Amino acid sequence: MNNLPPFSNFSSSHIAVIEPSRVLAVKPQVMAEARLTSSDYAQMRAELKDSGILIVDDKGAEARLIGFRCTFEPFLIGLAEYLLLTLHGWLPSPTGA
C-alpha cells in the first residue's frame, strides 16, 4: 500500500503533465465541454463508495477537486491536442467504447 501523503501523488502527476508541456512548448487549452460535470462527480463518488473505496464525503470535496484540476487539466488538454490523442471523460462511456 502506498504510504505517501495524497498531495505527493498529485505533485508527481502534476509534474508528469506540466514538464512535457514545457519541453514541447504546448500552451494550455480549455475544453469546450466539461470532462467531469457535477452529476458525473456524484456518480463517480457513488461508484467509488459502492466499491469500498474510502472517499472524502464533505461539501467542499468537489470544489477542491475542481481546484486541483484547474492547475493541470488545461496542460493535459493541450498535450492531448498536440499529440492528436482523445482525452476521455472521467467515467467510462455507457457503450464501453
pLDDT of residue 9: 66
Residues 18/77, Cβ–Cβ less than 8 Å:
no
Q: What is the largest CA-CA distance in the chain?
A: 41
Rounded Cα distance between 44 and 92, Å, is 10
Residue 83 has pLDDT above 70, yes or no: yes
pLDDT of residue 57: 75
In this predicted model, what pLDDT tens digit does every residue of 23-74 receive, in sequence order? 999 999 988 788 889 999 999 999 989 999 888 778 898 998 888 888 889 9
In this predicted model, what pLDDT tens digit does every residue of 63-72 receive, in sequence order? 988 888 888 8
Domain ranges for the chain: 34-89
Residue 7's pLDDT band, with cuts at 50, 70 and 90, is low
Query: What secondary structure letter does DSSP report for 25?
Result: T
pLDDT of residue 1: 45
Rounded Cα distance between 40 and 45, Å, is 9
| CA atoms within 13 Å, Cβ hemisphere of 8 | 4
